[in-house]
């Protein structure tokens, strides 16, 4: 009897873990699907300030200003350029299934976060240019053709909110030629 109970507990735990891990892949309206109803691909869109009643993304921290770029790399690689703000700015990359694959902050990048996002085929097609070094051009390889670029900027004081928002309006997420 004790062996049967132990076996049932282990089997129940395995089923629970598998179902939790499978939920993001089985969800019909994941973050990418919901955001694609609100914005176009390859355009950086500033999100409205979250309120207790309404948030574009769940659990959004009101101390941050957020912008989202839904990317589609089927036509061309994407050039992402985000000016650093006074306190903290970060850029995170997710697949359309919400799997994070890269993140970078202004602490690592400097005054401007600038990089190229592309698929492995697009990266392989890059010309071997001796004048362009890895320090000159940050290339991020996306594991999927579609996904999300999330930009977040910390606002230390409420009075600086509009200044930080204007700084993020200069950020771009556009296909490179």
CATH number at 68 reads 2.60.40.1610
Cα(64)–Cα(164) distance, rounded to whole angstroms? 9
Instruction: Confirm whether 96 is domain-assigned.
Output: yes
Instruction: Confirm whether 7 is domain-assigned.
Output: no
Sort 177 into a burial class: Cβ within 10 Å, 0-12 / 13-18 / 19+: exposed
Instruction: Confirm whether 148 is domain-assigned.
Output: yes
Instruction: Confirm whether 16 is domain-assigned.
Output: no
Report in angstroms the alpha-carbon separations of 177 from 75, 79, 122, 133, 172: 10, 9, 12, 19, 14
Between vectors from CA 95 to CA 93 and to CA 96, what angle results, nearest 5°? 130
User: Along the 177 residues of the chain, how does pLDDT read in single tens digits?
Assistant: 888 999 999 999 999 999 888 876 676 667 787 888 888 889 999 988 888 788 777 778 888 999 999 999 998 999 999 998 888 999 999 998 888 999 998 887 778 889 999 998 988 888 776 455 555 678 899 999 999 999 999 999 888 999 999 999 999 999 986
**What does pTM read for this prediction?**
0.79
Cα(52)–Cα(69) distance, rounded to whole angstroms? 24
Instruction: Confirm whether 54 is domain-assigned.
Output: yes
Report in angstroms the alpha-carbon separations of 90 from 48, 109, 161: 18, 10, 16
Q: Sign of the C-alpha dihedral, residues 171, 112, 96, 126?
A: positive
Host domain of residue 169: 29-175
Instruction: Confirm whether 78 is domain-assigned.
Output: yes
- List phi, psi (to 5°) of 46: -70, 135
Instruction: Confirm whether 24 is domain-assigned.
Output: no
Please give the tally of structural domains in the chain.
1
Instruction: Confirm whether 161 is domain-assigned.
Output: yes
């Amino acid at each position: 009897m004790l062996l049967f109970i132990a076996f049932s507990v282990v089997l129940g735990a395995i089923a629970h873990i598998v179902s939790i891990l499978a939920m993001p892949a089985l969800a019909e309206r994941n973050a990418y699907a919901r955001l694609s109803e609100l914005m176009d691909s390859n355009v950086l869109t500033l999100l409205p300030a979250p309120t207790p009643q309404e948030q574009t993304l769940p659990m959004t921290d009101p101390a941050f200003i957020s912008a989202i770029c839904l990317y589609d790399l089927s036509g061309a690689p994407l050039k992402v350029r985000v000016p650093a703000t006074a306190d903290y700015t970060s850029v995170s990359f997710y697949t359309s299934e919400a799997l994070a694959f890269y993140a970078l902050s202004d602490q690592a990048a400097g005054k401007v976060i600038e990089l190229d996002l592309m698929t492995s085929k697009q990266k392989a097609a890059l010309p071997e240019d001796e004048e362009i070094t890895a320090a000159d051009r940050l290339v991020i390889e996306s594991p999927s053709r579609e996904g999300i670029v999330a930009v977040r900027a910390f606002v230390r004081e409420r009075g600086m909110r509009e200044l930080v928002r204007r700084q993020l309006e200069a950020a771009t997420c556009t296909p490179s030629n």
